[in-house]
Structure 1
Amino acid sequence: MTQDRSFFSTYELAYLAMTVATCTVGRLLFQFIPNIQPMTAIFLIITLQLGIFRGLLISTLSVLITNIYLGMGIWTISQIFSFTIIICLMGLFCSVSIFRESRALQTLFSIFAGFLYGFIIACIDVEVYGMPQFWPYYISGLSFDLLHAIGNGGFYLLLTPIFQKLYKKTVKKKA
């Protein structure tokens, strides 16, 4: 008789739950500063450490939980979709060894992700809300995308060493 193996180890499940809680608290803590929050950086770090599936799991749960607090609406779907594209791109780049080993390239991608997130959201919003023109709407949001990009870069540099230590102490060592 073969023994069933769990999809997540206990340590990994605890690590993922802690990460969702960190994203939730981080987003709520920084909600008064437009578009500056640690969520995107954490999603990218988790994708780098644990892969696309777990990055998507963390992002979806974090968006759903924080939107329960901040307001749930049609934008929740576009947020999840935008983060899905960003996480899948991060996963693709992680398969390239030079990217995987270069914190500078990863940080540049996190900055780019802020602009990409805003672009995807704008594309969806124009269609959902029936706006007549895309470019004026998108350009009017570029200052918020810039804040998101700067926040991503800063949080990525700040949080990567912390999450690497946590990962080594919990998931990698116990797996």
Structure 2
Amino acid sequence: LMPTAVLAATAAAGRVLFAPIPDVKPVSAIAIVAGAALGRRSGFVVGAVAALVSNFFFGQGSWTPWQMYAWGLVGYLGGVFYDRGALERGWALYAWGFISALMYGAILNGYYVLGFVRPLTWPAVVAAYVAGAPLDIVHGIATAGFLAVIWLPWGRAIRRVVAKYDLAAR
């Protein structure tokens, strides 16, 4: 439980630290590392708790459960892909980091469309997603960049803690 809580707190703090830079946040990368090193459930919890806790700084609202689900899903799928050996190659890891940010953006853009786009027409939905695409792409690039920096050292350290304290509960 402690490694999961520490990673969730680190992800939340990282989101707050990078607040001045739109969509450059380490949350997705940290959730992916947590899912890979601690298991898919921990990956989900890290993403979800990071969204909840960081929103105490940014403000809670009807978007918070959507963020919790989206970042939780990023971490969960990171664990699934790692278990299947899909993240062993660097390009696959960075591709998942980029795609995970697009998936996060698609979910949050869906929240925006369902909650605020009136009248709800296909052109309006497409316009909403197109308007969010540049920020989703920035988020994807940032996630891949954060993974490039933290994947090896953090993964190695977390796996060492898991082995040392026999925490293998994948």
Q: TM-score, normalised by structure 2?
A: 0.87
- Of the two structures, which has the highest relative contact order with CA contacts closer than 8 Å and spacing of 6 or more? 1
How do 1:105-116 and structure 2 match up within 5 A? 105-116=92-103
Aligned partners of 1:128, 1:81: CA distance in 2, in Å? 17
2:112 is matched by which residue type in structure 1?
D
Q: Cα distance, 1:130 vs. partner? A: 4.0
Structure 1 residues not aligned, in runs of 5+: 1-12
Aligned partners of 2:11, 2:153: CA distance in 1, in Å? 14
Aligned partners of 2:132, 2:38: CA distance in 1, in Å? 32
Contact 2:51 2:67 in 1 (8 A): yes
Match of 1:143 in 2: 134
SS at match of 2:28: helix
Contact 1:43 1:59 in 2 (8 A): yes
1:157 aligns with 2:145: no
Contact 1:36 1:147 in 2 (8 A): yes
Aligned partners of 1:88, 1:16: CA distance in 2, in Å? 13
Contact 2:32 2:76 in 1 (8 A): no
The number of equivalent residue pairs is 162
Aligned partners of 2:44, 2:155: CA distance in 1, in Å? 19
The share of aligned pairs that are identical, in percent, is 25
Q: Cα distance, 1:41 vs. partner? A: 0.3
1:35 to 23, 28, 37: 23
Match of 2:163 in 1: 172
Match of 2:111 in 1: 124
Match of 1:8 in 2: none
Aligned partners of 1:139, 1:173: CA distance in 2, in Å? 47
SS at match of 1:74: coil
More deviation in 126-135 or 34-43? 126-135
SS at match of 1:33: coil
Aligned partners of 1:54, 1:88: CA distance in 2, in Å? 7
Structure 2 residues not aligned, in runs of 5+: none
Cα deviations across residues 54-80 of structure 1 (Å, max 9, x unaligned)? 111111211111001111001101111
**RMSD of aligned C-alpha atoms?**
1.6
Higher Rg: 1
